[in-house]
Amino acid sequence: MDTDLGWHIQVGEYIVKTLSVPKADLFSFSQPDYPYVYHSWATEVLIFVSYKWLGLWGVTIFYALVITLSVFFIYRTSILLSGKVNYLLFLWSAPLAFIFAGGRTRAMGFLLLAAFYFLFTKFQLKNSRAIWLAPPLFFLWVNLHGSFILGIGVFAVLTLTLRFFSKDRSANFKTLLIIFFLSLVSTLLNPYFFGAWKQAVVMTLNSTLALRSVNLDWRSLVEPSSGGLIFATIVAMVIFLLFFGKNKVSKIQKFLLLLFFILSLLTARFVLPLFVFFVPVANQTLEDLKSRINKQVQSSISVKGFILVLYLVLLLTALSNFLETNVANRSLRQYSYFLEKFSLTRLLYSPWPYEANLFIKENLQGGRIFAEANWGSYMIWLNPAQKVFYWGAMDNFIVNGRSFVFEYQDIVNAKPSWEEKLNQYKIDAVFLPKEFPLVAVLNLREDWQKVYDKEDAVIFTKRN
């Protein structure tokens, strides 16, 4: 699950209860009423309804359905392009898709991108009128996730690609231009009007230019923290085969795959369109290779054994995932335990300490608490009445010309201005992992006292 899940649930609850979409910061005491575009507001309603219905299992089922539907559209696109399907590839595509998109609101962008590429491919190959569904699709997209700007960009690239590589250029190009214009207009049909575009542009520029060092999502796909090195290697191998071997893959597909592979090397944010374009190409490549391999080789014991092993590994992976999810979804305490003991995110982020958060709820209610960045979102989830210093969306709060995340980092890393900033925001408690620099400094200060000290977290309060 996403570390932002807590505040996504709370935003959804706010919308359902007030029947209005918020337009300012709901959760912090550090930047109260900061104007903010909740670009995933409709998705947050769906998340809240899922959570209200079945708890964490509801959220799990919701995201599982989104990813499954996304892979289904990619599957349909693959059939259009090659007429055949490698089922083993698609069985493995689902868990891989979940690694890149699942458990986060960007899964909605993945779904809509997969659906749009299916519509576009159907238009390209069969001149299908279903492409006229693109404007309503972008209407949904702008209200479900801020990646609609990526979708518009992909639409533009696909249109230009078709213009230069297709034989029947003029008629299709004019139709696509009209639909592209209508799709642009449809993105204005949201609670924020032009504000949704402004927020999408600000997020893109801010994250690309300023946050690459602190936001793992915007680093290169091949960096260890992005977890995409193996996938990038496989894509590179397929691209090599496409450009230096005989195959039936079209120039359009080759160009799109190469373009988004290069973009993904710049930032992993492009991995979702890369995935959408890669799987149909991989399917076609595998089917081409299969047609060239002797049938006796294909039916040999070694080949069948290898395929059987792949199926067994997939089955065991699914079983393991189900058991882990069952542990995590029992309660918030169990969810915290899962994050600490089993989740791979513990290698990147400090696991959320439920017991420490419960201590705050029972003993420091209403306090102005400076907490670890991701923990702020969990604090909102466990105790909605508690305002926090920092929560998940605040890296896109631009305050005094820079992202607010750097204000947070100045404090947590005990930069020279840390004490001045704590006083500025009237902080009366600090809630952090033990290894953070600020903790080492506060351990030496007589004006701060330790009121909670466990292996996973420490809490200081300011002496009167």
How many degrees, rounded to 5, is the angle at CA 270 between CA 264 and CA 275? 95
Domain boundary residue, one of 272, 292, 312: 292
Do 271 and 404 belong to one domain?
Answer: no
Do 243 and 375 belong to one domain?
Answer: no
Do 280 and 428 belong to one domain?
Answer: no
pLDDT at site 168: 62
The closest alpha carbon to 268, from 439, 43, 99, 94, belongs to 99
Q: Say which residues have a Cβ less than 8 Å from residue 42's Cβ, sequence separation at least 6.
A: 140, 143, 144
Do 284 and 353 belong to one domain?
Answer: no
The 10s digit of each residue's pLDDT in 87-117 is 888 888 888 888 888 788 999 999 999 999 9
The residue-averaged pLDDT of 27-49 equals 95
Domain of residue 417 covers 347-462
What count of Cα atoms within 13 Å lies in the side-chain half-sphere of residue 313? 10
The closest alpha carbon to 29, from 444, 445, 429, belongs to 429
Could you give the CA distance from residue 450 to residue 458 in angstroms, rounded to a whole number?
A: 7
Could you give the CA distance from residue 299 to residue 460 in angstroms, rounded to a whole number?
A: 66
What count of Cα atoms within 13 Å lies in the side-chain half-sphere of residue 41? 19
Do 229 and 88 belong to one domain?
Answer: yes
pLDDT at site 1: 63
Q: Is residue 26 part of a domain?
A: no
Confidence tier at 341 by pLDDT (50, 70, 90): confident
Could you give the CA distance from residue 260 to residue 375 in angstroms, rounded to a whole number?
A: 34
The 10s digit of each residue's pLDDT in 236-289 is 999 998 888 887 888 888 999 999 999 999 888 889 999 999 999 999 988 887
Inter-residue contact 89 to 283 (CB < 8 Å): yes
Inter-residue contact 182 to 155 (CB < 8 Å): no
Q: In a 3-state reduction of DSSP, which class is residue 267?
A: coil
Determine which helix (DSSP H) or strand (DSSP E) holds 370, and give its type and residue range.
strand 369-371
Do 285 and 384 belong to one domain?
Answer: no
Could you give the CA distance from residue 366 to residue 372 in angstroms, rounded to a whole number?
A: 17
Q: Write the DSSP symbol of residue 131.
A: G
Do 99 and 167 belong to one domain?
Answer: yes
State how many domains the chain has.
Answer: 2
Q: Is residue 234 part of a domain?
A: yes
Mean pLDDT of the chain: 89
How many degrees, rounded to 5, is the angle at CA 127 between CA 121 and CA 128? 75
Confidence tier at 169 by pLDDT (50, 70, 90): low
Q: Answer whether 0.85 is exceeded by the pTM.
A: yes
Confidence tier at 332 by pLDDT (50, 70, 90): confident
The residue-averaged pLDDT of 347-362 equals 87
* Residue 173 main-chain phi, psi, to 5 deg: -65, -45
CA 113 to chain centre: 13
Could you give the CA distance from residue 370 to residue 457 in angstroms, rounded to a whole number?
A: 13
pLDDT at site 78: 94
Do 359 and 265 belong to one domain?
Answer: no
